[in-house]
Amino acid sequence: MNTGYSTSFFLVVFLIVAIGFAVAPLFLARLWAWKYSPRKPGASKNATYECGLESKGDAWIQFRSEYYIYGIIFLVFDVETLFLLPFAAAFPELNFGAFAAMLVFLLLLVEGLAWAWMKGLLNWK
Amino acid sequence: MDEGLRRELGQHGIFTTSLEELYNWGRKNSIWPLQFGLACCAIEMIAASMARFDLARFGAEVFRPSPRQADLMIVAGTVTKKMAPQVVRLYNQMPEPKYVIAMGACAISGGPFKQGYNVLKGIDRFIPVDVHIPGCPPRPEALLHAFMTLQRRIDAQLLTGPNRPRHLKESAPSEFPIPQFGPHDISPNKNPALWQPPAFKRAD
């Protein structure tokens, strides 16, 4: 099909309109502020918003990242339950292939549990 | 524009307006309140924003959880002296133009807890209040009425000239001093530029 113009022409038009759509209100707001409504920065206005309280301390603190262990163990049991229920409900109609696939899936999750057990994560300290 | 000419044009189906009217019309129909409740009045405020009373009819249903996006502070409930600095700081963190509705007897005067050692006797001692609503608590209709009052006030604001509102004046403050919660009382206990105790004069 010979249209006489490049098809990427529309992309350029859309890009320009999209950028204009985003930038024009900002530009108008700046124009409005310059003409009518002066900017009024201030100490507490520029401060961090902390529900009205003054923020204390530094946000750049170190914290223990050991939560991932609980995340993994939770995932093992949660995903297992999530898939075992429909598996149990549909069990009579399943053929052997689906049954084997489910067993492989369960094995993968049980591997995670075995890994956590080996690492001693299940011991209450 | 001359009012007669305007009516004349209106009869011919020509709508005329000014920048000021457009500006105020847009602002008064999109007052976003700060999501912020202090006591039982907040329950009435929530009721007013729900389907039965439907604050959305006035374009004010968008309760913002951050002062950066809010236009209106509804001080709904008892302001304790411990909470007062936070309320003032939140007000300071709102961008101009900003408005305040003091909702209920406590917010306007301390209400039934006025004699309490820990209760601020009216938030208008620290921040400029646009509309006061009496009542304990005021019904949602009263809050709607306060909204309509505020809308009328916004509609009457001028864009230029010496009588233009605070947010259009370069020199007018947009922040107000935050009181400190001290060991005995809040200090200072009022902003003298905003509020003076009523003076009683003995009749001669």
Q: What is the DSSP string of B30-64?
A: --PBB----STHHHHHHHHHSTTT-GGGGT----B
List the single residue in B with minimal CA-CA distance to A45: B93
Q: Is the model's pLDDT at A2 over the cut of 80? A: no
Entry pTM = 0.76
Q: Give the containing element (helix H, strand E) for A75.
A: helix A67-89
Cβ atoms B119, B78 nearer than 8 A: yes
Of B86, B96, B173, the CB nearest to A53: B86
Question: In terms of Cα–Cα distance, which of B98, B36, B30 is closest to B60?
Answer: B30
Question: In terms of Cα–Cα distance, which of B146, B165, B167 is closest to B156?
Answer: B165
Q: Running DSSP on this structure, what letter comes out for residue B78?
A: -
Question: In terms of Cα–Cα distance, which of A42, A65, A86 is closest to B89?
Answer: A42
Strand partners, B103: B76, B133
Residue from A49, A53, A55 whose CB has the most chain B CBs within 10 Å, to mutate: A49
Q: How far is CA A14 from CA A6, A24, A59, A118, B175, in A?
A: 14, 15, 41, 57, 43
pLDDT bin (cut points 50, 70, 90) of residue A1 is low
| Cα A54–Cα A58–Cα A61 angle in degrees, nearest 5 | 140
Distance between CA atoms of residues B186 and A15, nearest Å: 56
List the single residue in A with minimal CA-CA distance to B83: A52
Which residues of A are less than 8 Å from B178 in CB distance?
Answer: 44
For residue B19 the two structure tokens come to 């920048």
- Check residues A58 and B68 and name the one with the higher pLDDT: B68
Tell me the average pLDDT across A32-58: 87
* SS3 per-residue string spanning B182-202: CCCCEECCCCCCCCCCCCCCC
**3-class state of residue B23 by DSSP:** helix
Which residues of A are less than 8 Å from B93 in CB distance?
Answer: 44-45, 47, 49, 52
The region of weakest confidence among A19-23, A89-93, A119-123, B140-144 is: A119-123
Q: State the pLDDT at residue A3.
A: 65
Number of CB pairs, chain A paired with chain B, less than 8 A apart = 45
Strands (E), chain B: 72-76, 99-103, 131-133, 180-181, 186-187
Q: Running DSSP on this structure, what letter comes out for residue A55?
A: P
Distance between CA atoms of residues B99 and A111, nearest Å: 61
Cβ atoms B194, B126 nearer than 8 A: yes
Across B61-89, b (16+ Cβ under 10 Å) vs e yields ebbbeebeebbbbbbbbbbbbebbbbbbb
Q: Look over chain A and give the mean of its residue pLDDT values, rounded to a whole number.
A: 87
Q: Is A8 in the B-facing interface, judged by CB distances under 8 Å?
A: no
Q: Is A52 in the B-facing interface, judged by CB distances under 8 Å?
A: yes
Distance between CA atoms of residues B70 and B34, nearest Å: 5
List the single residue in A with minimal CA-CA distance to B94: A45
Distance between CA atoms of residues A108 and B129, nearest Å: 64
Q: Is A97 in the B-facing interface, judged by CB distances under 8 Å?
A: no
Q: State the pLDDT at residue B75.
A: 93
Q: State the pLDDT at residue B74.
A: 94
Q: How far is CA B28 from CA B97, B101, B147, B169, in A?
A: 11, 14, 9, 19
Residues of chain B with pLDDT under 50: none
Cβ atoms B104, B138 nearer than 8 A: yes
CB contact under 8 A, A44 and B89: yes
- Check residues B190 and A63 and name the one with the higher pLDDT: B190
Q: State the pLDDT at residue A50.
A: 83
CB contact under 8 A, B67 and A49: yes
Question: In terms of Cα–Cα distance, which of B21, B29, B107, B30 is closest to B64?
Answer: B30
Q: How far is CA B140 from the centre of its chain?
A: 16
Distance between CA atoms of residues A63 and A72, nearest Å: 19
Q: How far is CA B41 from CA B36, B67, B103, B134, in A?
A: 11, 20, 7, 11
Q: Is A26 in the B-facing interface, judged by CB distances under 8 Å?
A: no
Q: Is the model's pLDDT at A79 over the cut of 70? A: yes
C-beta neighbour count of A28 within 10 angstroms: 10
